Amino acid sequence: MANRHWTVWAKAIGMAIAAVLLIRMFLVTSCIIPSSGMENSLYQGEGILVNKWSYGLRMPFPSVFGYHRLMPRPVRQGDIVLFNNPNPKRPDTGIERRELFISRCIGGAGDTLMLNHEWINVGGKVESPDSKALYAYPSAAEDLMLAVLDTVGIEGNSLAGYTPEGHYIRSFSHYEFYLVSQKAAGRICIAPLSEKTPQKVHPFVVPRKGIAVKVYPWNATLLCNAILSHEHRQAEVRNDTLWVEGKAVPAYTFTQDYYWMAANDPVNLCDSRLFGFVPESHIIGKAWKIWLTPHRGRFFQTVE
């Protein structure tokens, strides 16, 4: 009788463990918030449930069987997402065994973000690299400006006018202004006529599967890192030019969607400022419910 009793209990425990494992593998998983980076949306130490079907189920063990996703759906802007570290210390670590991060998606596949030199999204109007704006500079620097224009290959750029102070005015696209300012290297004081014209802020296109992303000096490194780590092709940046498999490329077409993730806390660097674009293969699911919290009234709240 005793042996039969223990056999029944062993089967019950085994079935319960199997059920939990199946639920975690195919339906819902959980994690504990490790830092204060997502406050005031999620607090350090809180436990959350993650819906693994929010963006389609990522099939288990992608490092063994390859990346596959059932009923895939894109991550939406504003979603708080659980994903594996896109840039682990040991790149040979399987995707499913990599460290977990949780951040808010602020850039979906195909979106354009205005990022500064620290890769922080400054928001505001999205500027195209080809959008034109007016810039003024001292008339005494005209000979140097003409030399710079000739060096960077900008032709037919005539004077657009003069300021009341006698400064010269020219029209440059965002890309042309970047080239001129880099080549002038501080020798010409160039200032936008409009205060709304961003300086040291550039448009970054988040890669979308099958769509070519143009290469510019400011995004070449980010694209190179994604190609090396997630497209699994040889790539490098030489003098602001992206080289893939030994060829200079003006644009690159990616094989999967990517996302830009940001923590609520701008000081917390556990987001895309640290590891760049997050590929869809690393997405686990959307943060769903709070199941553990020291804060009153937050138990089983929907994560937003």
Which helix (H) or strand (E) segment holds residue 286: the answer is: strand 283-292
Express each pLDDT in 93-144 by its tens digit: 999 999 999 999 999 999 999 999 888 898 878 888 888 999 999 999 999 9
Domains (range + CATH), the chain: 2-117+258-292 (2.10.109.10), 132-197 (3.30.70), 212-253 (no CATH)
At residue 24, the pLDDT reads 56
Would you say residue 190 has pLDDT above 80?
Answer: yes
CA dihedral 286, 80, 230, 201 (to 10 degrees): 160
Residue type, 23: I
250: CB partners within 8 A, 6+ apart? 214, 215
Tell which wins on pLDDT, 53 or 9: 53
Residue type, 228: L
Token readout for 62 is 């992608």
Mean pLDDT, the chain, as a whole number? 89
* H runs (alpha helix) in 172-219: 174-184
Residue for token pair 């994690």: 31
Say how far apart CA 74 and CA 25 lie, in whole Å: 20
Which helix (H) or strand (E) segment holds residue 169: the answer is: strand 168-173
Express each pLDDT in 138-189 by its tens digit: 999 999 999 999 999 999 999 999 999 999 999 999 999 999 999 998 899 9
Would you say residue 11 has pLDDT above 90?
Answer: no
At residue 67, the pLDDT reads 95
Q: Given pLDDT bands bounded at 50, 70 and 90, which one contains residue 21?
A: low
Q: Given pLDDT bands bounded at 50, 70 and 90, which one contains residue 194?
A: confident
At residue 10, the pLDDT reads 59
At residue 37, the pLDDT reads 86
Share of the chain above pLDDT 90, in %: 71
* H runs (alpha helix) in 48-173: 62-65, 142-152
Q: Does residue 180 contact residue 147 with C-beta atoms inside 8 Å?
A: no
At residue 19, the pLDDT reads 46
Say how far apart CA 130 and CA 122 lie, in whole Å: 19
At residue 164, the pLDDT reads 93
Instruction: Report helix, strand or coil for 258.
Output: strand
At residue 5, the pLDDT reads 62
Handedness of CA 50, 51, 56, 57 (dihedral sign): positive
Q: Partners of 279 in the beta sheet? A: 258
